[in-house]
Structure 1
Amino acid sequence: MKSNISRRPPPQRRRTNGGDDRLSNLPDEILCHILSFLPTKNAVATSILSSRYLSLWSCIPVLDFHDQPHLHSPQKFVEFVDQVLAGNKSSSIDTFKLSFENCTDLEPISSVNRWIEAVIKRRVVKMELSVFANHVDTGLPLKLLPCESLQVLKVGGDNGAVIPVSANSFPNLRVLSVCLSDPDNKVTKNLFTRLPKLEELTVEACYGKGDECFGEFWFKFVAPDLKKLHFVLRVMDDSPYYDLDFKIVIDAPRLEYLCVEDDYYGDYWVKNKLLATEVKVHVGEKCELLCFGHTYASADRAFQLLSRVATAKSLSLSYETMRALMFAHRDNALPTLHFLTKLEVFVMDHRGWHLLSYLLECAPNLRCLVVINKGNSEERDLNQGFYWGKDGDSYLQGDFRWSIGTSPAFLLLRKNKNEIRRLEKKEELNKVDEFRVQCKMLTFAVSRCG
């Protein structure tokens, strides 16, 4: 990046009562680098320190704007950003960050689009936008333009952002994080398939905010170098679940991390062999299975997703996912998890333990098990469980509530045939349910107390 900072020597050393003024002895380039870590408002404020700082802020290639000091006056914030962009002398912008929580009029939205265009013309590398314009009904959305230099793009907030989906819009983009409200298939089918250098992707899509939300929606994630994918699918509480269907295609041969948070039960198609080492699955939180006419079909989608990530080394399953798998397991055999060494599951009271026993039978190389009790809605503070590590140590995390009036008093861990360790919880109730899980490497047992 070409610098506009003059390479003049530092001024003559100054002394203060406390000794050397080391900051003033630094070259301009280093001072500008230090100022780049400050919000732009604070960087500009340093101009009152001395005449030397009058022009330093204008050479900083990092711009970080927050409207917090101007929440009640968006116009003042717009004027401040305009002045800084006009006064900035850097030939290129490394980072442009904008947090605009009170973007509620036509003029501020138009200004944001103007700023985006300005930094794109100056070959911005990293752009983070958090713009909230949900109270505006102007037909003027947040608009992003194609940018060859952009490598990191993060778009948050409720702003109806319009992102170009044509080929070569972002040829060098490596990190993308977007929030989308009621996106159409044109965006979700094309945007995530035309980013050839993408390595990290976070997508949060929310459906049900518009007047009409029904039909089939597609998401296609096709990226040869993608290593990390975090997909969040939100469905509004009052959305017609029966009229929605989601198809998700994942084609990422180098994927290492996959996290799925799906309020619904999307249909996931994983192409090629998924080699992700860490997988987190949280599906069906907004869906009550027993209320569906297609209960087993919906649950079977969760089962199929598990089958398609069966090569993971670390796997986390939410309670809602466990619930769906319990339905699907009635007619399907769980896949063998040959590579699984760490398993984390969420249970609710006494439910989930039966399925857990089958999961452990399918994980012959398991070394670490974490069980977390989700608890009742009135007992969120008790959402804890127990942990077992490969070194044989075990301990309880909080309070198990397996069923009304019962909870475990003893946890016996048998690492080998002759070695048994016991952890006693004296405050637990006397009567407990038996739970025995056996697999190749470990044995858990909870005994009944007398």
Structure 2
Amino acid sequence: MEIERQSTIPNALPSNSAGNSSEDSVKRARLSPSNQGETQKPVDYISQLPDAIILHIFSFLTTKDAIKTSVLSKQWRSIWTSNQYMSFSLPPGSSRKSKSFTAFVNSVLSRSTAIKVKRFFFDAPCLALMQSSLDRWLQFAIKHHVEEVSVILNYRRQKIYALPQIMFCCMTLVSLRVSRCCFWVSSAVNWCSLKTLRIEHAELNDDGMMRVLSGSPVLEFLELKGCVGVKHVMVESKSFRELVIDSHEFRGQASMLRISAPHLLKLRLLGNSRGGEFTLDEVSSLIEAELNFNMKIFAHDKVKAYADLVKGLLKRLHHVTKLVMGSWCLQVLSLMEARDMFLPSLECRHLILLGAAGHEGVPEAIAKILESTRLLEKLFLQTTCTPNDMIELNAESVRHRVFAGEEFWNFVKWRIYQCLMHLRHVEIVDCGANLLTWEPILSLLKFLLRNALWLDKIVINSTNSKSSRAVERSPLLEEARILQSHPKCSPGARVIL
């Protein structure tokens, strides 16, 4: 074998009687002169990268880090000046460094050779001495046909920076995100290319909002987070696809937010939105909706008002095919009197209930929702061990309810039988619930296995738990084994843990 191996090597040399091993001879024979030169001087692949690749790498870096790459190669020393992606950040509490930070940004922009700026990100405390500089920096980006702008000001006491009016005439702008800025619009808006708009923690008014929306004919995504002052969101654009209202602040006369968007496809109402209500006027094109907001209730007389709010929203969302409901909405429905528990018929085929366990009366609310979703095919439940403290009621103001487990579901079977005719997929995601919290869910799963005609599978996913110590995994595993052997109405139904 050794002879055969050596014979296959080109120009193989015999062993040296002076003591040089045959392996050294073979290595020398394998290396041609050109190969030996390459070994001594390795190729500098970094220097050979095309400028387009280098600039693409810069798009993932802050401007400061992009400048640091100039030490990698001589060819990289000046390429950063043509970087089209600019990102400047000053951490909170760094006010002492504001002068050097301002000087750094001025230096970068003065040395920039980029014809176009694709992205300009700014994240820093809003200091008074930086306002005029920020105006100049934004003007620089606008004059260089910027496409993406993000201005995040870490200043919580007050909003002291007003966006320059030239910003509202940037026709190349595709994406805009502003946080803690004064969003005052005094003239017509010309955002003919804008597709994504995020406004966070800003004071708005209906007149300015109307100008913004009417001046954005191709807007696809709008998010209002922690905003105050606006009472109407009306979008007529046919390209409008998604609206997110997060932690809306109802204040003074603006105690109602009316939403009208005939071409909207997805609506999300999120966060803590105390002191008002949402009204949906024209949302006939919606296919997906999420009601995951909460409003603090201080007295029993508020329960019916907020229950009417949830029922009113569901009535306007009856046609959506995917519906997400948060824990607060479920609890509100669970606190309603039986005579008021009439929900509109829902056409959704995919239902997601978040935090849907561990609260008294919630199984009744789930049953009522299942009764209303007669075409339901996929049910998703998320459990949690964190109590929802958004609802504060005296014990005497709400009747005490006793949950009787599977007996309860058997009792309401006649009400939800149509849902059982279509349900195919059930998934439970555990976010740290204890076994007591799981009891209503487990009884529901047993009921579905016994009664859902076309059920394909039940998936119990406990891998997403926030705290492994918060879950009694052994009892849960045992319950899953019990489910696997539980009688099934659908022969092909599977239980997957």
Shared fold per TM-score greater than 0.5: yes
Structure 2 residue 345 is matched with structure 1 residue 336 = yes
- Does structure 2 retain, via aligned residues, the 8 Å contact 1:279–1:316? yes
- Does structure 2 retain, via aligned residues, the 8 Å contact 1:303–1:328? no
Report matched runs for 1:143-158 at 5 Å: 143=164, 145=167, 146-156=169-179, 158=180
Letter in 2 for 1:227: R
Select which of 131, 151, 159 maps to 1:109: 131
Spell out, residue by residue over 1:6-65, the C-alpha distance to the aligned partner (whole angstroms, 9 max, x if none): xxxxxxxx9786832212112223222222322110111223334322321111111111
Change (3 A) 1:361 1:17: farther
Counterpart secondary structure, 1:192: helix
Q: Aligned pair count?
A: 388
Partner of 1:309: 317
Change (3 A) 1:58 1:421: closer
Shift of 1:319: 2.0
Partner of 2:197: 176
Structure 2 residue 237 is matched with structure 1 residue 226 = no
- Does structure 1 retain, via aligned residues, the 8 Å contact 2:381–2:429? no
Select which of 254, 258, 283 maps to 2:267: 258
Select which of 73, 98, 121 maps to 1:74: 98
- Does structure 2 retain, via aligned residues, the 8 Å contact 1:228–1:257? yes
- Does structure 2 retain, via aligned residues, the 8 Å contact 1:167–1:194? yes
Spell out, residue by residue over 1:70-111, the C-alpha distance to the aligned partner (whole angstroms, 9 max, x if none): 9241111111111111111111111111111x333x221221
In the alignment, the residues of structure 2 paired with residue 272 and residue 111 of structure 1 have an alpha-carbon distance, to the nearest angstrom, of 42
Letter in 2 for 1:149: T
Counterpart secondary structure, 1:86: helix
Letter in 2 for 1:283: F
Change (3 A) 1:281 1:289: farther
Partner of 1:366: 376
Change (3 A) 1:374 1:30: closer
Spell out, residue by residue over 1:84-143, the C-alpha distance to the aligned partner (whole angstroms, 9 max, x if none): 11111111111111111x333x22122112211111111101111212234468x55343
Structure 2 residue 120 is matched with structure 1 residue 96 = yes
In the alignment, the residues of structure 2 paired with residue 418 and residue 70 of structure 1 have an alpha-carbon distance, to the nearest angstrom, of 59
Select which of 278, 283, 307 maps to 1:267: 278
In the alignment, the residues of structure 1 paired with residue 156 and residue 425 of structure 2 have an alpha-carbon distance, to the nearest angstrom, of 53
List alignment gaps of at least 5 residues for structure 1: 1-13, 208-212, 380-387, 429-440, 443-450
- Does structure 2 retain, via aligned residues, the 8 Å contact 1:126–1:152? yes
- Does structure 2 retain, via aligned residues, the 8 Å contact 1:166–1:194? no
List alignment gaps of at least 5 residues for structure 2: 1-36, 390-419, 461-472, 477-488, 491-497
Letter in 2 for 1:111: S
Change (3 A) 1:42 1:272: closer
Change (3 A) 1:317 1:245: same
Change (3 A) 1:163 1:396: closer
Change (3 A) 1:378 1:150: closer
Partner of 1:120: 142
Counterpart secondary structure, 2:65: helix
Report matched runs for 1:20-35 at 5 Å: 20-35=43-58
- Does structure 2 retain, via aligned residues, the 8 Å contact 1:300–1:324? no
- Does structure 1 retain, via aligned residues, the 8 Å contact 2:149–2:177? yes
Report matched runs for 1:189-338 at 5 Å: 189-207=210-228, 217-235=231-249, 245-253=255-263, 255-261=264-270, 263-264=273-274, 265-271=276-282, 273-276=284-287, 278-288=288-298, 290=300, 292=302, 295-326=303-334, 327=336, 330-331=339-340, 333-338=342-347
Letter in 2 for 1:196: P
Report matched runs for 1:124-143 at 5 Å: 124-135=146-157, 140-143=161-164
In the alignment, the residues of structure 2 paired with residue 426 and residue 49 of structure 1 have an alpha-carbon distance, to the nearest angstrom, of 54
In the alignment, the residues of structure 1 paired with residue 280 and residue 139 of structure 2 have an alpha-carbon distance, to the nearest angstrom, of 37
Change (3 A) 1:421 1:201: closer
Letter in 2 for 1:125: E
Select which of 335, 342, 360 maps to 1:350: 360
Q: Using the TM superposition, name which of 369-378 and 170-179 deviates more.
A: 369-378
Shift of 1:173: 0.3
CA RMSD of aligned residues (A): 3.8
In the alignment, the residues of structure 2 paired with residue 319 and residue 113 of structure 1 have an alpha-carbon distance, to the nearest angstrom, of 43
Q: Of Structure 1 and Structure 2, which has the larger fraction of its residues in helix?
A: 2
Shift of 1:394: 6.3
- Does structure 1 retain, via aligned residues, the 8 Å contact 2:381–2:428? no
Shift of 1:332: 6.7
Q: Percent identity?
A: 20
Partner of 1:446: none
Select which of 76, 89, 97 maps to 1:53: 76
Counterpart secondary structure, 2:204: coil
Counterpart secondary structure, 2:209: helix
Change (3 A) 1:329 1:162: farther
Q: Of Structure 1 and Structure 2, which has the larger fraction of its residues in strand?
A: 1
TM-score (norm 1): 0.74
